[in-house]
Each structure stands twice: as structure tokens, then as C-alpha cells.
Amino acid sequence: MTFEDIKKRLEKISKLMNLSEKEIEILLKFKRIIKKELEVDGKTYEAWRIVHNDSLGPGKGGIRFHPKVSEDEIKSLAFWMSLKTSLVELPFGGSKGGIRVDPKELTEKEIEKLSRIYIRNFHEVLGQDKDIPAPDVYTNQQIMGFMLDEFEKMEGRHEPGMITGKPFELGGCLLREDATSRGGEIILNLFLERMNKKPEETRVVIQGFGNAGMNVAKMLYEQGYSIIGVSDSKGGIYDEEGIDIEKMIKIKKEKGSVIYYSNAKISNKDLLELETDVLILAALENQITEKNANDVKAKYILELANGPVTSEGEEILQKKGIIVIPDILANAGGVIVSYCEWVNNRVGHIFSKKFMEEILKEKMHKAFHKTYELYEEQKTETFTMRDAAYIIAIKRILKAEKARGNI
Ligand code: GLU
């Protein structure tokens, strides 16, 4: 259970921060948990929208379509969104939504129907000042477009700021599509500078070749990193000499999987255990656990997905001296650009690409330096970079709760 794992992590943090019972209670509380059954053409699908904490602003977080979506997962993801938006100093709380469905089994028309029905069921709790969705696993710009359209039809007025990651013509932002990867790239470069390591002498393995994994591969490849392994849900490819990422992207887009690149196939399990400098986890949660952490040979792990390393897995990695750059820092680029989109929509102005790139860079740099400095300062055998990021994020949430008179 992922949320049980979060509770375990919070126990450690509350000792480090000396949190009171009341403060822990606030951090574990959910503002709103809504579950509905969506009906499309006689079939039903379970769906959720969950807000964790909204003391800093309206809920913010994506909607995922995945066959393994559960309440436990969406709660965990909403919790992480609260910490993420707090860490990078956005005026948002944390939320998440999802539909338990395998979108690969649906036609485009069925996906559109499902997206519209989701909004019909949840529109009352959504809005630019309430709770603002965005893309997540297996959802995209087009789905955000359908959702905005349905919401505006129901409300009888325009409100583009109720959702981010939408098509440009509907008020979307050109930078949003690869923003998570841009943010991850910034963080990885800053981190490796501290480790005195140059891109051309750094080997990288990437698990996951969806939006985040593919774009980060492209960016790092262009900078001269050697990408020696990549995988998707069908399997992986390993090439010690370095993969031609341009060719790989072409193959993934044309044939649907990275495995058609060459005969140098590798299983997802073995990919995680490759000898490499950096392992980027860009797939789903719970990938490195107490079961395989001992076999991981990477020096550094960048969590581009949410929650890919469990607390027990991380304890083992820590003992082995493997540093994990935590998700709430590494993948915050997406929500930072979502914030720019939301501001654009609210003020009816479109910031230049350059200006938004500056905001992304500034926020990522600030969050990285704050986190890394606290990590360096407190470093012990058990203190992780994640602990540092959690402490900074939790402090800001608790300050807001205090300012509201809730503590
Ligand atoms: N789904 C992304 C995340 O987990 C983005 C959320 C957003 O932009 O609201 O960070």
C-alpha cells in the first residue's frame, strides 16, 4: 500500500522536525475524497478526484487513466502534489484524479466520451479557484481539451484556468508538453555539477519512454550524455556504446515500443540493475523496493515519475551510498509550467516563451539549492535528499495552516 509507505516516511520526518500530534494529523488529512462510477456504452469505470491539502491555494494535480488506478494510489499522488507545489513555492495545494481503465483498449471516441463523463461527474468540485487538473499517465493535451470543453458547456461560460496542459488554441502553453523533462534535466545538471561530473562522461539508463522519459532522453542526448538503456512497458534495449535516441524516438512513434530498435533486448527488471551513473525512473510508482534495491548498481537515481522508490527500497539504497533525487523536486517542472498557464488564463495575457522558461529555471534552481544545502548540512547515514525536500515543503504548508489559525 503506497499511502502506508507515505505514513512511514512521515514518521521519520516528524521526528526530524519534531512535529506535534496536531501537525501530523493535518498532514495526514484529506480535504476531499470523491469516488464515482462512470458509465460509457454500458461499461462502468471507477474514477476519483482527491484533494489532499489546500492551505496554500486551490488543489493542483493531474488525472491519470490506467488499469491499476486505486484510491490508495490517487491519495498518495495527491499527497505528493501538496509537497511538490509547496517545495517550488507555487500558490497551489495538492490533488490528483484518475480513472481505472486501460486506455489502450478504448477507441479515440470512447476516450473522448469517458473524459467528458468524468467532467460531468466531478465538475462541481473543479474550477480555477477550487481544484485544477492537468495531464498525467496516459492522458494528454487532447483529453484536457475535451475536459475543458465539457466543463465550459456545463457552466455556460469560459474558464480556461480550470485545467492546464490543454491545447494552445484553448489557452494552453507551448512549454507544457515537455516541461516535466525540462525540469528534470535542469535538476540533473545542477546535481551532477555538485558531483563534479560532466555530461559526456555520464552514462544514463531510463525506465519509461512515455512523455517524460522520451523527452528527457532527447534533451540529455543532445547535451552529450550517453544513454545506454531505455525501456517501456513492453521491455527494454541496452547498448553499452550508447543508443541513438533520435532513431529510438522514431521507432517508438512508428512502432509503439522501444523494443523494435535492435536485438539488444533487456527485461525491465535487468534494466533497473544495470551498471550506470544515473538511473532515471520515468514510469510508475513502486519500482525500486526492498526486493530489488540491493541489486541496483546506479550511482544516482532521478525520480522523474511519482513515487518510484519505496521507503524500504530507499533505506537500502542509502546504505549502499546511492543518492536518490526525489520526485517532488525532480519532476516539479510540469506543475511549474502549469502554473504559468493558469496565470496566463486568469489575466488574459500570454507570457513569452522566454519569460516562462525563466520562471521554470528560477523555481527549479531555487528549490534545488534549498534542498541540496539542507541535505549537505544535515547529512547523516540516514538523512536523504528526500528528507530535506520534505522538510522544506512541510514547513511551508504548516506555516499556511498556522496563518489560517488551524494550528
Ligand atoms: N501530473 C503532473 C505531476 O504529477 C503535473 C501536474 C500539474 O501540472 O498539475 O506533477
CA 61–ligand 1 middle distance (angstroms) = 5
Euclidean distance between CA atoms 133 and 156, whole angstroms:
19
Mutate to test the pocket of ligand 1, among 136, 138, 341 (most ligand atoms within 8 A of CB): 136
List 96, 252, 299, 363, catalytic entry: 96
Query: Which residue has a Cα nearest atom 9 of ligand 1?
Result: 61
Going along 83-213, which residue ranges are E strands? 95-100, 131-132, 203-207
The pLDDT value given to residue 216: 98
CA 295–ligand 1 middle distance (angstroms) = 30
The pLDDT value given to residue 176: 84
Tell which residue, 13, 11, 52, 49, has the closest CA to residue 30: 52
The pLDDT value given to residue 287: 97
226-232 and 235-238 beta bridge pairing: antiparallel
DSSP letters, 5-22, are HHHHHHHHHHHHHT--HH
User: Is pTM, for the whole model, over 0.75?
Assistant: yes
The pLDDT value given to residue 350: 85
The pLDDT value given to residue 191: 98
pLDDT averages per 10-residue partition of the chain, 407 residues: 93 97 97 97 96 98 98 98 98 98 96 98 98 96 98 98 97 91 98 97 97 97 98 97 98 97 95 98 96 98 97 97 98 98 94 94 98 95 97 98 97
The pLDDT value given to residue 177: 85
CA 134–ligand 1 middle distance (angstroms) = 6
Q: Is 250 a catalytic residue?
A: no
Residues with CB under 6 A from ligand 1: 60-62, 134, 136, 164, 306, 331, 334-335, 338
Query: Which residue has a Cα nearest atom 8 of ligand 1?
Result: 335
The pLDDT value given to residue 222: 98
